[in-house]
Amino acid sequence: MRSVSRGSLLTLVLCLSLLTEVAAADEIKGGNPPADGFRAELSDPEAIAIADRVMEAMGGRRAYDATRYVSWLFFGRRQHYWDRYDGDIRIEGETGEGDAKSNFTLLYNIQTKEGRAFVDGSEITDEAELAEWLERAYDMWVNDSYWVFMPYKLKDSGVALKYLGRRTMEEYGDVEALELRFEGVGKTPENRYEIFVDPDTWLVAAWSYFETADLTEPGFTLPWGEWQRVGRILLAGSHGRGMDWQLRAYDELPREVFEDPAPVKPGDSDSR
């Protein structure tokens, strides 16, 4: 039998120890497996690696998955409460202008596509009108939640990620640029985004929106700034335009938040 030198044995022990530490760290972070339908075959390995580093920088996949209840105020216009596990949402806002302005409260489930709508305190019972309001509720949630959670969705179903290389941007400095495209998912699969990641923090610094994938000039380029801890995860508190997004996470929310159109009481929305 061949003998094993002390040096070789020490090297083996160190390697096993390192592998154990890496596995333990991955267990803590929970890794970042892609969603079913993520277009890995059309994605660049460099872009996937950056997406994984972004997830880790924001707290990790496990922390995100453990975050159940969240709320935010979309550009000062619409207040959202979301149960990420059961799919219940509550959206409050205004519609119309001037004397025709009305307040609405929408109680909806994004999984069942069922819900109720209230305008100026009165429930909408007409089936056609209710259907329109519930479709609006879904559209609002799709749009508004993406402004809050996009960096957690870089490996979602239907997404393809391309690496666009290192860029220097006047406002954001050196960034790693990714291109994000969709296929067969969402309300606007023709959209395209360029995502700019700060390589010092691995947090998203800005994004550019293109209404269709063939456009070369973006509809806007806006920051992802003022990153802050919200419960177990990090969320960006600034997307330009000087708005306070009032980001909150909760260990619990009473069912009345998602079932009762009455105004949410302060105690119902105390964040951790």
pLDDT value for 8 = 45
Burial 159-171 (b: 16+ CB within 10 A, else e): bbbbbbeeeeeee
CB-neighbour burial class of residue 82 (10 A; exposed 0-12, middle 13-18, buried 19+)? buried
Q: pLDDT-based confidence at 234, cuts 50/70/90?
A: very high
Quote the CA–CA distance of 65 and 55 in Å, as a whole number. Answer: 11
- Residue with more model confidence, 266 or 126: 126
* pLDDT over 50 at 28, yes or no: no
pLDDT value for 22 = 37
Quote the CA–CA distance of 246 and 223 in Å, as a whole number. Answer: 17
Q: pLDDT-based confidence at 4, cuts 50/70/90?
A: very low
Average pLDDT over residues 64-84: 97
Of 198, 194, 224, the closest CA to residue 209 belongs to 194
Name every residue whose Cβ is closer than 8 Å to that of residue 215 and which is 6 or more positions away in sequence. 192
* pLDDT over 60 at 269, yes or no: no
Q: Give the amino acid at 100.
A: A
Name every residue whose Cβ is closer than 8 Å to that of residue 268 and which is 6 or more positions away in sequence. 253, 254, 256, 257
Q: pLDDT-based confidence at 99, cuts 50/70/90?
A: confident
**pTM reported for the whole predicted model:** 0.85
* pLDDT over 90 at 64, yes or no: yes
Name every residue whose Cβ is closer than 8 Å to that of residue 4 and which is 6 or more positions away in sequence. none
Of 220, 226, 227, the closest CA to residue 54 belongs to 227
Phi, psi (rounded to 5 degrees) for 128: -65, -45
pLDDT value for 139 = 96
For tokens 């509809």, the residue is 219
pLDDT in tens, 175-224: 999 999 998 766 677 899 999 999 999 999 999 999 999 999 999 999 99
pLDDT value for 241 = 87
Q: pLDDT-based confidence at 55, cuts 50/70/90?
A: very high
Terminal-to-terminal C-alpha distance of the chain: 62
Residue 231's alpha-carbon distances to 6, 92, 129, in angstroms, are 48, 23, 37
Which secondary structure element, helix H or strand E, spans residue 80, and what is its range? strand 78-83
Half-sphere exposure of 189 (CA within 13 A, CB side): 10
Q: Give the amino acid at 196.
A: F
* Max CA distance (Å), the chain: 93
What CATH architecture is 40-266? Clam (2.50)
